Structure 1
Amino acid sequence: MKHLSIFALLALLLLSSCATRGQTGAAGGAAAGALIGQAIGHNTGATLIGAAVGGMLGYIVGNEMDKYDREQLNHAYERGMSNQRSSWVNPDSGNQYAVTPQPAYQDASSSQVCRRAEIEAIIDGKRQKTYSTACRDQYGTWQLR
């Protein structure tokens, strides 16, 4: 596990120096997803699944979501009713998003208030679906994990 953590951190640093926002987001998401998958499942399959899901979410957030989309996503985490879908179309890109937040909970390890959400996106005509978790930081802003 320690070697995987070091490898993931080095890969993220190397990729961030010469990559686009989408590639950096995908690499960071994949690294974080792999670490979470390994921590939860303690096997290669869980690590690979975590990397795939994290990579997809990281790419969506890093490349496709602009400031407007991130504000809408933050609004869904902040004010969205649990299990109620919130959707929007980006006026500049035409990308479509729908977010269904789950009830807030207090994370046992960090004591932060967190929410899990299903995110559906239609980007360049391709439907994508993933799940994310966001937690409030010390300033009250929702940060994706």
Structure 2
Amino acid sequence: MKFRHIVIPVIMTAFIAGCAQDQGQKQTAGTLLGAVGGAVAGAQFGKGSGQLVGVALGTLAGAFIGSEVGRSLDNADRAIMAQSTQRTLEATPTGQTSTWQNPDTGVQGTVTPTRTYQEPKTQEYCREYQQTVMIGGQEETAYGTACRKPDGSWQVVN
């Protein structure tokens, strides 16, 4: 994927997020994360200018979906999700799914490690994973990579 295919949608998203003055922090973060995820997904389709259109459409769709998810997640939801993600990355075998739920809000999700490897440059153990959040019947899926730091915590690297 070419660098400009990511930079252009990210800049578009920043403008979109900046125009929405009444968004809270979690909604803005959701918009940005959704846009980046949508751009990456959109880049998988087409070639040349068709791929750029896919990136743009993916960015806009991801920004909208991410905004809606971000608006709905509160601090407690994010804390439960983060704790579950840390536990899953530390102890769950690749391909096995762990679940979490906030009993107060009903928000729930899953975390599934999809690949485990040792980073050659840093010698850190890293894991690719899929994370799904279900809010009010709407499901949002994201993919990421986290690496294990010397203190035992997992730091998201993308």
What TM-score does the superposition give when structure 2 sets the normalisation length? Answer: 0.62
**Structure 1's 8 and 82: CA in aligned 2 closer, same or farther, altered over 3 A?**
same
Aligned-residue CA RMSD (Å): 4.0
Rounded Cα–Cα distance in structure 2 between residues aligned with 1:49 and 1:9: 11
Rounded Cα–Cα distance in structure 1 between residues aligned with 2:123 and 2:67: 24
What TM-score does the superposition give when structure 1 sets the normalisation length? Answer: 0.66
| 2:25 corresponds to 1:11 | no
**Structure 1's 31 and 93: CA in aligned 2 closer, same or farther, altered over 3 A?**
same
| 2:133 corresponds to 1:121 | yes
The equivalent of 1:100 in structure 2 is 112
The equivalent of 2:156 in structure 1 is 143
The equivalent of 2:145 in structure 1 is 134
Rounded Cα–Cα distance in structure 2 between residues aligned with 1:111 and 1:53: 33
Shift of 1:12: 7.1
Aligned length: 144
Counterparts of 1:45-60 in structure 2, within 5 Å, are: 45-49=54-58, 52-53=61-62, 56=65, 60=69
Rounded Cα–Cα distance in structure 2 between residues aligned with 1:141 and 1:60: 23
**Structure 1's 39 and 96: CA in aligned 2 closer, same or farther, altered over 3 A?**
closer
Unaligned 5+ segments in structure 1 are none
**Structure 1's 74 and 33: CA in aligned 2 closer, same or farther, altered over 3 A?**
same
- Contact 1:105–1:114, Cα closer than 8 Å, also in 2: yes
Counterpart residue type for residue 76 of structure 1: T
**Structure 1's 135 and 21: CA in aligned 2 closer, same or farther, altered over 3 A?**
same
| 2:63 corresponds to 1:87 | no
Counterpart residue type for residue 111 of structure 2: V
Q: Residue by residue, what CA displacement relative to the aligned partner does 1:47-101 show, whole Å, maximum 9, x if unpaired?
A: 4335535764575467423212221122222322111111122132222222221
The equivalent of 1:30 in structure 2 is 34
Over alpha carbons, which structure has the higher Rg?
2
Unaligned 5+ segments in structure 2 are none
